[in-house]
Amino acid sequence: MSELRRDPVSGDWIIVAPERAGRPKWFSVKKPKRQPSPKKTCPFEDLQKSGNWPPILSYPNEKNWEVILIPNKYPALSHLKSQSESIAPWPHFVKTGVGSHDLLLVREHDKGFADISLGRAVDAFLLLQKRYKMLALQKEMVYTSTFFNWGAGAGASIYHPHFQVLTLPIIPPDIASSLKGSMRYFRKYKRCVHCDMLKFDIKEKKRVIEKNSSAIAITPFVSREPFEVRIFPRRHLPYFEQTSLPALKSIIATLQSSLRRIKKYLNDPDFNFFIHTAPLKDHRYSYYHWHIEVLPKIGVGMPGGFELSTGVEINVVDPRLAAAVLKGKG
């Protein structure tokens, strides 16, 4: 039977309606194997030749880099040092598009993030942490959104694996909603809403994909999309950039393992994953719990008229079944 489920953080409703899809065997349909694009046409193979130089950060160094952070040549926001505001004709409001838009690259051209070594993946996230701390020193920077698009169906225009790191002078609406919902729950119960949801998932054992002492991967009870996965630090941590190296290593290992499960059991779909964390430099968000969200693009449950007209998502895969499939038991 279908269920209406309400997210305790955002307060938004979704509908879980598995009967709309029937027995979900569509993900096992064979498709052509993913093929890397030619290295000779990749703008990230020779950064100086393609005009993507100099870098902002690199590891271990600029000459022999394995992970590197560069400015986006086509930024969504201007790389400027000052911020200004202007008033548009009533009732509109306009703020100058000042911010930062960077790209973080790993050396490997022909491997997805799931397949690079754990060491390389950790190096990438350590460079991200360093960049977050740098951005926090800039007055105009408020929130950093880091995301990874894999495949054309997820919005990736270049095959070479890379993160986009976009820093805004505002708190984005979805983040603001999550922060407000987390604060409401904390004020009412004196506990973290995400910690309580994880306790519920661990007790039920139906939506946990895997866990260790420092990290856990789940298919959320209120999943907006089929096979949505979230990876949390087990310890309550509001800020991604303040996560210790041992905990970060466990979280990234769990992320990579989850991506390999998606690749294996869902026939290597395109996907997005992104970091949800508290805003930069403002340390009043101790009630928040940072995490990583993974959204596979499996070709079902696409938004239609109902979703677009109401804001209520319909998920055609029960999160319990999603967890079972990703554990090889579906």
Q: Where are the alpha helices (DSSP H) in 29-69?
A: none
* 8 A C-beta contact, residue 310 and residue 13: no
Catalytic residue among 162, 194, 276, 289: 162
User: Which residues are CB-contacts of 146 (< 8 A; sequence separation ≥ 6)?
Assistant: 104, 128, 163, 164, 165, 166, 274, 275
- Count of alpha carbons within 13 angstroms of residue 253, beta-carbon side: 13
* 225, β-bridge pairs: none
* 8 A C-beta contact, residue 247 and residue 235: yes
Asked whether the bond before 54 is cis by omega within 30 degrees of 0, the reply is: yes
**CA-CA distances (angstroms) from residue 72 to 44, 210, 307?**
11, 35, 33
Name the nearest CA neighbour of 211 among 223, 199, 222.
199
DSSP, res 32? P
- List phi, psi (to 5°) of 141: -85, 130
User: Would you call 92 a catalytic residue per the annotation?
Assistant: no
Q: Cite the active site residues.
A: 162
